[in-house]
Amino acid sequence: MLGVVGANGAGKSTLLRLLGGVGRPTSGQIRTQGRIGALLDLGGGFLGDLTGRENAMLAGVVAGLLRSEMKARMDEIVAFAELEDFIDEPVRTFSTGMRMRLAFSVAVHTAPEILLVDEYLSVGDLAFQAKCSRRIAELRGEGCAIVMVSHGMDQVRKLCDRALWLKHGEVAAFGAADAVAGLFETEMKAETLRRTPDVARRRIGDGPELVARVNRFGTFEIEIDTVELQPGGGIRSGGPLAVTLGYHSSTPVAGAVFVVSITREDGTVCVDTNTQLARVEVPEIDGKGSIRFTLDRLDLGAGAYFLDVGVFESTWKHAYDYHWHAHPFTVDGGAGHKGLLAPPGEWRIGPG
Protein backbone atom coordinates (compact mmCIF):
# COMPACT_ATOMS: atom_id res chain seq x y z
CA MET A 1 0.00 0.00 0.00
CA LEU A 2 1.40 3.28 -1.14
CA GLY A 3 0.49 6.66 0.30
CA VAL A 4 0.77 9.77 -1.82
CA VAL A 5 1.25 13.03 0.07
CA GLY A 6 1.90 16.60 -0.99
CA ALA A 7 0.43 20.07 -1.05
CA ASN A 8 -2.66 20.92 -3.11
CA GLY A 9 -1.82 21.04 -6.79
CA ALA A 10 1.29 18.92 -6.41
CA GLY A 11 -0.08 16.36 -8.85
CA LYS A 12 -1.43 13.69 -6.52
CA SER A 13 -4.80 13.32 -8.18
CA THR A 14 -3.25 13.55 -11.62
CA LEU A 15 -1.01 10.65 -10.68
CA LEU A 16 -4.03 8.58 -9.65
CA ARG A 17 -5.77 9.41 -12.91
CA LEU A 18 -2.79 8.39 -14.98
CA LEU A 19 -2.48 5.15 -13.03
CA GLY A 20 -6.12 4.52 -13.89
CA GLY A 21 -5.33 4.89 -17.58
CA VAL A 22 -7.40 8.05 -17.81
CA GLY A 23 -5.16 10.34 -19.77
CA ARG A 24 -1.66 9.67 -21.00
CA PRO A 25 1.64 10.77 -19.49
CA THR A 26 3.61 13.28 -21.53
CA SER A 27 6.72 11.26 -20.89
CA GLY A 28 7.53 8.04 -19.13
CA GLN A 29 5.39 4.97 -18.96
CA ILE A 30 2.87 3.36 -16.70
CA ARG A 31 2.62 -0.38 -16.30
CA THR A 32 -0.23 -1.88 -14.34
CA GLN A 33 -1.30 -5.45 -13.95
CA GLY A 34 -4.78 -6.34 -12.85
CA ARG A 35 -8.20 -4.77 -12.80
CA ILE A 36 -8.29 -1.24 -11.49
CA GLY A 37 -10.94 0.00 -9.10
CA ALA A 38 -11.19 3.58 -8.01
CA LEU A 39 -12.54 5.63 -5.15
CA LEU A 40 -12.11 8.92 -6.95
CA ASP A 41 -15.23 11.02 -7.23
CA LEU A 42 -17.59 8.94 -5.13
CA GLY A 43 -21.14 8.96 -6.39
CA GLY A 44 -20.28 11.41 -9.15
CA GLY A 45 -21.99 9.28 -11.78
CA PHE A 46 -25.20 8.67 -9.87
CA LEU A 47 -28.49 9.71 -11.43
CA GLY A 48 -30.99 11.19 -8.98
CA ASP A 49 -34.09 9.70 -10.58
CA LEU A 50 -32.83 6.12 -10.52
CA THR A 51 -33.09 4.03 -7.37
CA GLY A 52 -30.11 3.15 -5.23
CA ARG A 53 -30.20 -0.38 -6.58
CA GLU A 54 -30.24 0.77 -10.21
CA ASN A 55 -27.38 3.17 -9.58
CA ALA A 56 -25.37 0.51 -7.79
CA MET A 57 -25.85 -1.88 -10.71
CA LEU A 58 -24.79 0.87 -13.08
CA ALA A 59 -21.70 1.76 -11.06
CA GLY A 60 -20.67 -1.87 -10.74
CA VAL A 61 -20.99 -2.64 -14.43
CA VAL A 62 -19.21 0.57 -15.33
CA ALA A 63 -16.43 -0.45 -12.94
CA GLY A 64 -15.96 -3.68 -14.86
CA LEU A 65 -18.29 -6.33 -13.45
CA LEU A 66 -20.88 -8.32 -15.36
CA ARG A 67 -24.53 -7.82 -14.53
CA SER A 68 -24.77 -11.35 -13.18
CA GLU A 69 -21.77 -10.76 -10.91
CA MET A 70 -23.32 -7.55 -9.61
CA LYS A 71 -26.64 -9.28 -8.92
CA ALA A 72 -24.81 -11.88 -6.86
CA ARG A 73 -23.10 -9.22 -4.76
CA MET A 74 -25.96 -6.76 -4.48
CA ASP A 75 -27.18 -7.86 -1.05
CA GLU A 76 -23.68 -7.70 0.35
CA ILE A 77 -23.16 -4.23 -1.12
CA VAL A 78 -26.43 -2.90 0.28
CA ALA A 79 -25.71 -4.39 3.68
CA PHE A 80 -22.24 -2.90 3.79
CA ALA A 81 -23.62 0.53 2.92
CA GLU A 82 -26.30 0.06 5.61
CA LEU A 83 -28.98 1.14 3.16
CA GLU A 84 -31.37 -1.84 3.29
CA ASP A 85 -34.37 0.38 3.95
CA PHE A 86 -33.63 2.93 1.28
CA ILE A 87 -32.04 1.05 -1.59
CA ASP A 88 -35.20 1.06 -3.73
CA GLU A 89 -35.80 4.78 -3.26
CA PRO A 90 -34.55 7.26 -5.88
CA VAL A 91 -31.05 8.43 -5.11
CA ARG A 92 -32.19 12.05 -5.16
CA THR A 93 -33.79 11.38 -1.78
CA PHE A 94 -30.43 10.21 -0.36
CA SER A 95 -28.21 12.43 1.72
CA THR A 96 -24.67 13.07 0.47
CA GLY A 97 -23.38 10.65 3.08
CA MET A 98 -25.73 7.90 1.91
CA ARG A 99 -24.64 8.35 -1.69
CA MET A 100 -21.00 8.19 -0.73
CA ARG A 101 -21.58 5.08 1.36
CA LEU A 102 -23.27 3.36 -1.53
CA ALA A 103 -20.55 4.39 -3.98
CA PHE A 104 -17.83 3.28 -1.60
CA SER A 105 -19.56 -0.02 -1.00
CA VAL A 106 -19.87 -0.76 -4.71
CA ALA A 107 -16.25 0.18 -5.35
CA VAL A 108 -14.81 -2.07 -2.65
CA HIS A 109 -16.98 -5.00 -3.69
CA THR A 110 -15.85 -5.07 -7.31
CA ALA A 111 -12.80 -7.15 -6.32
CA PRO A 112 -10.24 -4.77 -7.73
CA GLU A 113 -6.64 -5.88 -7.96
CA ILE A 114 -5.48 -2.30 -7.89
CA LEU A 115 -7.40 0.28 -5.89
CA LEU A 116 -6.94 4.01 -6.30
CA VAL A 117 -8.19 6.00 -3.32
CA ASP A 118 -8.55 9.76 -3.09
CA GLU A 119 -9.15 10.93 0.50
CA TYR A 120 -11.70 8.25 1.31
CA LEU A 121 -11.87 8.95 5.03
CA SER A 122 -14.40 11.69 4.62
CA VAL A 123 -17.13 9.10 3.93
CA GLY A 124 -19.95 8.95 6.42
CA ASP A 125 -19.78 8.96 10.20
CA LEU A 126 -16.94 7.70 12.36
CA ALA A 127 -18.35 4.19 12.66
CA PHE A 128 -18.63 3.91 8.91
CA GLN A 129 -15.14 5.30 8.43
CA ALA A 130 -13.78 2.62 10.71
CA LYS A 131 -15.62 0.05 8.61
CA CYS A 132 -14.10 1.52 5.45
CA SER A 133 -10.62 1.34 6.95
CA ARG A 134 -11.19 -2.29 7.91
CA ARG A 135 -12.43 -3.13 4.44
CA ILE A 136 -9.42 -1.42 2.86
CA ALA A 137 -7.13 -3.36 5.18
CA GLU A 138 -8.95 -6.55 4.17
CA LEU A 139 -8.46 -5.82 0.48
CA ARG A 140 -4.83 -5.13 1.18
CA GLY A 141 -4.58 -8.46 2.98
CA GLU A 142 -6.08 -10.18 -0.07
CA GLY A 143 -3.20 -8.86 -2.15
CA CYS A 144 -4.86 -5.80 -3.65
CA ALA A 145 -2.38 -3.05 -4.45
CA ILE A 146 -3.64 0.24 -3.03
CA VAL A 147 -2.53 3.73 -3.88
CA MET A 148 -4.00 6.31 -1.53
CA VAL A 149 -3.85 10.08 -1.63
CA SER A 150 -4.01 11.51 1.87
CA HIS A 151 -3.49 14.67 3.83
CA GLY A 152 -3.48 12.85 7.13
CA MET A 153 0.05 11.80 8.07
CA ASP A 154 -1.27 9.60 10.88
CA GLN A 155 -3.35 7.75 8.36
CA VAL A 156 -0.35 7.34 6.08
CA ARG A 157 1.77 6.02 8.95
CA LYS A 158 -0.94 3.63 10.08
CA LEU A 159 -2.10 2.21 6.76
CA CYS A 160 0.69 2.56 4.24
CA ASP A 161 3.88 0.57 3.75
CA ARG A 162 5.53 3.16 1.61
CA ALA A 163 4.83 6.75 0.79
CA LEU A 164 5.54 9.09 -2.07
CA TRP A 165 5.81 12.82 -1.53
CA LEU A 166 5.06 14.95 -4.56
CA LYS A 167 6.12 18.55 -4.82
CA HIS A 168 5.16 20.56 -7.92
CA GLY A 169 4.71 17.34 -9.85
CA GLU A 170 8.09 15.95 -8.91
CA VAL A 171 9.12 13.32 -6.44
CA ALA A 172 10.36 15.01 -3.28
CA ALA A 173 10.77 11.80 -1.32
CA PHE A 174 9.91 8.14 -1.72
CA GLY A 175 10.39 5.45 0.89
CA ALA A 176 9.07 4.01 4.12
CA ALA A 177 5.76 5.61 5.10
CA ASP A 178 7.03 6.73 8.52
CA ALA A 179 10.07 8.47 7.11
CA VAL A 180 8.27 10.25 4.29
CA ALA A 181 5.39 11.36 6.53
CA GLY A 182 7.93 12.74 9.01
CA LEU A 183 9.82 14.60 6.32
CA PHE A 184 6.62 16.05 4.98
CA GLU A 185 5.55 17.30 8.41
CA THR A 186 8.93 18.86 9.08
CA GLU A 187 8.80 20.65 5.77
CA MET A 188 5.31 21.93 6.51
CA LYS A 189 6.57 23.46 9.73
CA ALA A 190 9.58 24.95 7.97
CA GLU A 191 7.26 26.34 5.33
CA THR A 192 5.25 28.13 8.01
CA LEU A 193 8.43 29.49 9.52
CA ARG A 194 9.73 30.68 6.17
CA ARG A 195 6.46 32.39 5.38
CA THR A 196 6.15 34.16 8.69
CA PRO A 197 6.66 37.84 7.96
CA ASP A 198 8.62 40.05 10.33
CA VAL A 199 5.80 41.92 11.96
CA ALA A 200 6.30 44.30 14.80
CA ARG A 201 6.15 42.91 18.32
CA ARG A 202 2.69 43.10 19.64
CA ARG A 203 0.99 42.75 22.93
CA ILE A 204 -2.44 41.21 23.28
CA GLY A 205 -4.28 43.32 25.85
CA ASP A 206 -2.33 43.12 29.04
CA GLY A 207 -1.24 39.63 28.02
CA PRO A 208 1.99 38.28 26.69
CA GLU A 209 4.20 39.77 24.07
CA LEU A 210 3.93 38.04 20.71
CA VAL A 211 7.07 38.02 18.62
CA ALA A 212 7.05 36.71 15.09
CA ARG A 213 9.23 33.63 14.63
CA VAL A 214 9.73 33.30 18.36
CA ASN A 215 6.36 32.45 19.75
CA ARG A 216 4.17 33.42 16.84
CA PHE A 217 4.14 31.80 13.40
CA GLY A 218 1.99 32.14 10.33
CA THR A 219 1.19 33.95 7.15
CA PHE A 220 -1.38 36.19 8.86
CA GLU A 221 -4.22 36.01 6.34
CA ILE A 222 -6.13 35.41 9.55
CA GLU A 223 -4.81 36.91 12.79
CA ILE A 224 -5.78 35.92 16.29
CA ASP A 225 -6.21 39.23 18.11
CA THR A 226 -7.46 38.18 21.51
CA VAL A 227 -7.11 35.02 23.56
CA GLU A 228 -9.33 34.92 26.59
CA LEU A 229 -9.34 32.24 29.27
CA GLN A 230 -12.38 31.82 31.48
CA PRO A 231 -12.83 31.84 34.42
CA GLY A 232 -10.51 34.81 34.45
CA GLY A 233 -9.70 34.85 38.14
CA GLY A 234 -7.96 31.52 38.40
CA ILE A 235 -8.36 28.15 36.83
CA ARG A 236 -9.15 25.36 39.23
CA SER A 237 -8.60 21.69 38.71
CA GLY A 238 -11.96 20.05 38.08
CA GLY A 239 -13.55 23.36 37.15
CA PRO A 240 -14.70 24.42 33.71
CA LEU A 241 -12.47 26.13 31.17
CA ALA A 242 -13.43 28.22 28.18
CA VAL A 243 -11.06 29.59 25.55
CA THR A 244 -12.35 32.37 23.33
CA LEU A 245 -10.33 33.43 20.30
CA GLY A 246 -11.06 36.74 18.65
CA TYR A 247 -9.75 36.96 15.13
CA HIS A 248 -9.91 39.00 11.97
CA SER A 249 -9.00 38.40 8.34
CA SER A 250 -8.05 40.89 5.69
CA THR A 251 -9.27 38.68 2.83
CA PRO A 252 -11.98 35.98 2.80
CA VAL A 253 -10.53 32.61 3.82
CA ALA A 254 -12.45 29.34 3.50
CA GLY A 255 -11.90 26.09 5.34
CA ALA A 256 -9.68 27.39 8.11
CA VAL A 257 -8.96 25.02 10.99
CA PHE A 258 -8.75 26.27 14.58
CA VAL A 259 -6.51 24.51 17.04
CA VAL A 260 -6.45 24.63 20.81
CA SER A 261 -3.94 22.66 22.84
CA ILE A 262 -2.73 22.65 26.42
CA THR A 263 0.85 21.66 27.13
CA ARG A 264 2.66 21.19 30.42
CA GLU A 265 5.85 23.11 30.96
CA ASP A 266 7.89 20.00 30.21
CA GLY A 267 6.24 19.71 26.78
CA THR A 268 3.73 16.93 27.53
CA VAL A 269 0.61 17.54 25.47
CA CYS A 270 -2.45 17.23 27.71
CA VAL A 271 -5.26 18.46 25.47
CA ASP A 272 -5.00 18.79 21.72
CA THR A 273 -8.06 19.37 19.57
CA ASN A 274 -9.04 21.17 16.40
CA THR A 275 -12.17 21.99 14.48
CA GLN A 276 -11.35 19.43 11.81
CA LEU A 277 -11.06 16.55 14.28
CA ALA A 278 -14.19 17.71 16.05
CA ARG A 279 -16.00 17.96 12.69
CA VAL A 280 -16.95 21.57 13.22
CA GLU A 281 -17.92 23.37 10.05
CA VAL A 282 -15.94 26.63 10.08
CA PRO A 283 -17.68 29.09 7.76
CA GLU A 284 -15.72 31.30 5.40
CA ILE A 285 -13.90 33.89 7.45
CA ASP A 286 -14.17 37.45 6.27
CA GLY A 287 -13.58 40.28 8.69
CA LYS A 288 -13.89 39.96 12.45
CA GLY A 289 -15.22 37.06 14.45
CA SER A 290 -14.66 34.84 17.42
CA ILE A 291 -14.64 31.14 18.22
CA ARG A 292 -15.02 29.50 21.61
CA PHE A 293 -13.86 26.16 22.92
CA THR A 294 -15.18 24.92 26.25
CA LEU A 295 -14.25 22.08 28.54
CA ASP A 296 -16.84 21.12 31.14
CA ARG A 297 -14.17 19.85 33.48
CA LEU A 298 -10.48 20.47 33.44
CA ASP A 299 -9.13 17.55 35.39
CA LEU A 300 -5.48 18.50 35.17
CA GLY A 301 -3.21 18.39 38.15
CA ALA A 302 -2.10 21.67 39.66
CA GLY A 303 0.82 23.29 37.89
CA ALA A 304 1.96 25.61 35.14
CA TYR A 305 0.74 25.09 31.61
CA PHE A 306 0.82 26.72 28.21
CA LEU A 307 -2.20 27.34 26.07
CA ASP A 308 -1.26 27.07 22.39
CA VAL A 309 -3.80 28.39 19.91
CA GLY A 310 -3.71 28.61 16.16
CA VAL A 311 -5.59 28.78 12.92
CA PHE A 312 -4.32 26.70 10.01
CA GLU A 313 -4.85 26.34 6.29
CA SER A 314 -7.52 23.74 5.44
CA THR A 315 -4.98 21.06 4.47
CA TRP A 316 -2.46 21.96 7.20
CA LYS A 317 -0.09 23.31 4.62
CA HIS A 318 0.87 26.21 6.86
CA ALA A 319 -0.42 28.23 9.74
CA TYR A 320 -2.23 31.49 9.32
CA ASP A 321 -1.46 32.37 12.88
CA TYR A 322 -0.08 30.13 15.61
CA HIS A 323 0.72 31.24 19.14
CA TRP A 324 3.21 28.80 20.58
CA HIS A 325 3.85 28.85 24.33
CA ALA A 326 2.68 32.44 24.36
CA HIS A 327 -0.16 32.07 26.84
CA PRO A 328 0.95 30.59 30.16
CA PHE A 329 -1.56 29.82 32.89
CA THR A 330 -1.63 27.93 36.13
CA VAL A 331 -4.07 25.39 37.46
CA ASP A 332 -4.78 25.43 41.15
CA GLY A 333 -6.36 22.84 43.39
CA GLY A 334 -6.38 19.17 42.60
CA ALA A 335 -5.26 18.41 46.11
CA GLY A 336 -4.27 14.83 46.70
CA HIS A 337 -2.81 14.33 43.22
CA LYS A 338 0.74 14.48 42.00
CA GLY A 339 0.31 13.20 38.43
CA LEU A 340 -0.78 14.75 35.18
CA LEU A 341 -4.47 14.20 35.83
CA ALA A 342 -6.51 15.09 38.85
CA PRO A 343 -9.89 13.53 38.27
CA PRO A 344 -12.38 13.44 41.17
CA GLY A 345 -11.74 10.50 43.38
CA GLU A 346 -11.82 9.41 46.97
CA TRP A 347 -10.20 6.89 49.27
CA ARG A 348 -12.38 4.71 51.41
CA ILE A 349 -11.22 2.33 54.03
CA GLY A 350 -13.29 -0.79 54.44
CA PRO A 351 -13.70 -3.12 57.36
CA GLY A 352 -11.56 -5.79 55.62
Partner 1 sequence: MNAQPTSTGLPDATSGRRWRHALDVLAVLTSRDLKAQYKRSFFGFGWALGGPLLQVIIFSTIFQNVLGSRTENYACFVFIGVLVWGWFQGALGQSVGLITNNAALARQPGFPLSLLPHVTVSVRFLHFLIAVPLLFGLLWWNGIRPGIEWAALPLLILIQYLLTVGIAYPLASLNVLHRDTQHIVAVLLQLLMFLTPVFYNIHVIPEHLRRWYYINPMVSLVESWRQVLLEGRWPDFGTLAILTAVGGLLIVAGRRLFIAQSHRFVEEM
Residue 255 burial by Cβ neighbours in a 10 Å radius (0-12, 13-18, 19+): middle
Q: Is 138 in the site for partner 1 (CB under 8 A)?
A: no
CB of 6 to partner 1, least distance (A): 20
Left, alpha or beta for 238 (phi > 0: left; psi -120 to 50: alpha)? left
What's the DSSP call for residue 107?
A: H
CA–CA separation, 314 and 278 (whole Å): 14
Convert residues 86-125 into a mask of x (bound to partner 1 by CB under 8 A) and - (unbound): ---------------------------x--x---------
Q: Is 47 in the site for partner 1 (CB under 8 A)?
A: yes
Nearest to 295 by CA among 318, 276, 278: 278
Q: Which is nearer to partner 1, 64 or 234 (CB)?
A: 64
CB of 69 to partner 1, least distance (A): 9
CB of 70 to partner 1, least distance (A): 9
Out of 9, 30, 186, 265, the only residue in the binding site for partner 1 (CB under 8 A) is 30
**Which CA distances in Å does 200 have to 45, 238, 250?**
52, 38, 17
What's the DSSP call for residue 68?
A: H
Q: Is 21 in the site for partner 1 (CB under 8 A)?
A: yes
Select the span of 41-49, 128-136, 199-207, 268-276 touching partner 1 (CB under 8 A).
41-49
| 320 close to 218: Cβ distance less than 8 angstroms | yes
Query: CA-based diameter of the chain, in Å?
Result: 82
Q: Is 304 in the site for partner 1 (CB under 8 A)?
A: no
Nearest to 155 by CA among 14, 1, 19, 45: 1
Q: Is 210 in the site for partner 1 (CB under 8 A)?
A: no
Counting residues that bind partner 1 (by CB under 8 A) gives 38
Out of 2, 20, 162, 182, the only residue in the binding site for partner 1 (CB under 8 A) is 20
Q: Is 268 in the site for partner 1 (CB under 8 A)?
A: no
CB of 111 to partner 1, least distance (A): 9
Q: Which residues contact 195 (CB under 8 A, 6 or more apart)?
A: 218, 219, 318
**Which CA distances in Å does 147 have to 110, 129, 170, 242?**
16, 18, 17, 42
Cα 35 to the center of its chain, rounded Å:
29
Cα 185 to the center of its chain, rounded Å:
14
Q: Which is nearer to partner 1, 64 or 328 (CB)?
A: 64
Select the span of 14-22, 214-222, 266-274, 314-322 touching partner 1 (CB under 8 A).
14-22
Q: Which is nearer to partner 1, 36 or 153 (CB)?
A: 36
Q: Is 31 in the site for partner 1 (CB under 8 A)?
A: yes
Select the span of 36-44, 196-204, 273-281, 332-340 touching partner 1 (CB under 8 A).
36-44
Convert residues 50-69 into a mask of x (bound to partner 1 by CB under 8 A) and - (unbound): x---x--xx--xxxxxxx--
Q: Is 49 in the site for partner 1 (CB under 8 A)?
A: yes
Q: Is 38 in the site for partner 1 (CB under 8 A)?
A: yes
CA angle (344 as vertex; 342, 347 as ends), nearest 5: 105
Q: Which is nearer to partner 1, 32 or 95 (CB)?
A: 32
Q: Is 33 in the site for partner 1 (CB under 8 A)?
A: yes
Q: Is 251 in the site for partner 1 (CB under 8 A)?
A: no
> Is the bond preceding 252 in cis, omega lying within 30 degrees of 0?
no
Q: Is 23 in the site for partner 1 (CB under 8 A)?
A: yes
* Amino acid sitting at position 109: H
For residue 269, the cross-strand partners are 263
Give the 3-state secondary structure of residue 254.
Answer: coil
What's the DSSP call for residue 282?
A: P
CB of 43 to partner 1, least distance (A): 9
Q: Which residues bind partner 1 (CB under 8 A)?
A: 17, 19-25, 27, 29-38, 40-41, 44-45, 47, 49-50, 54, 57-58, 61-67, 113, 116
